[in-house]
Amino acid sequence: MKESDIEYFEKERKIRNPIFFDRFPKIKYKGLKILDLGCGHGAISIDLVIKGAKKIIGVDVNEKRIDFAKKNLLINFPMFTDNINFECVDFRTISDTDFDYIISKASFEHFIELDKMLIDMKNKLKIGGKLIVGFGPLYNSPWGDHNRLKHKLPWAHIFFSEKYFINKLNKHREKKITSIYDLGLNGYSLKKYIDLFNNTEGFTVIDFRTNVSKKVLMKVFNLFTYIPILREYFTYNIYCVLERIK
């Protein structure tokens, strides 16, 4: 296993996962069956079992990350091999439809055709099951391009056209790209996420929060969100829970 992958995994467990769990203090995991959607290196799957989850299926479409997750599980967490299964697949191919929770951390800003995916997520949950999501930065926030457009100024990806950045990037790429989709960005606005969460049949939103952070900068951003025209551009992240009701 690469040292860089090990370091990333450890950083997830020590820093990012505790932050994610702290932002959902009322959620309990003991004895539950959970789909870890966009599981990456598998760090949150490990921590979910430590928190008492009975069965985890971790899925990701990145083969290298899943390879690491599988090897790391066997070598460093063999006591959890009966509880966790990592698969490099599109989650829609999984036959299970009885998950208590679907958890997705730092992935929703990358999913294309999220409207269709939300319906499929709902169908993987039990009635009363929950979709627990935390993600950011949103595309229209200062650094919403995840540095993939290689600009140095906040909101530059909003001020300049997508075509401008694509042409600029293609000058230095052997494999050409045609849109931000090719960079793993869906470009969704805050409004689009809100509309999707509120209008996916069979789901109801039971928790929805934005700019969830203890950092001073997020508190400053929140002040600007009270101005309707600026809310879109000063909303950095979303943390929400959707429940399947039918």
Give per-residue pLDDT as tens, 72-101.
999 999 999 999 999 999 999 999 999 999
CATH architecture of the domain with range 3-137+185-221+235-244: 3-Layer(aba) Sandwich (3.40)
What are the 10-residue block averages of pLDDT along the chain, 246 residues in total?
A: 95 97 97 98 98 98 97 98 98 96 97 96 98 98 96 95 96 95 97 98 98 95 96 98 98
Q: How confident is the model at residue 215, as a pLDDT?
A: 94
Closest CA to 129 of 100, 103, 153: 100
Q: How confident is the model at residue 97, as a pLDDT?
A: 94
CA 208 to chain centre: 15
Q: How confident is the model at residue 9, as a pLDDT?
A: 97
pTM for the whole thing? 0.94
Q: What is the pLDDT of residues 202-234, one digit of tens each?
A: 999 999 999 999 999 999 999 999 999 999 999
Whole-Å CA distances, 144 to 23, 39, 185, 243: 21, 21, 9, 27
Going by C-beta distance under 8 Å and a sequence separation of 6 or more, which residues neighbour residue 49?
A: 56, 80, 83, 84
Structure tokens, 200: 């996916």
Q: How confident is the model at residue 49, as a pLDDT?
A: 98
Q: How confident is the model at residue 181, as a pLDDT?
A: 96
Q: How confident is the model at residue 18, as a pLDDT?
A: 98
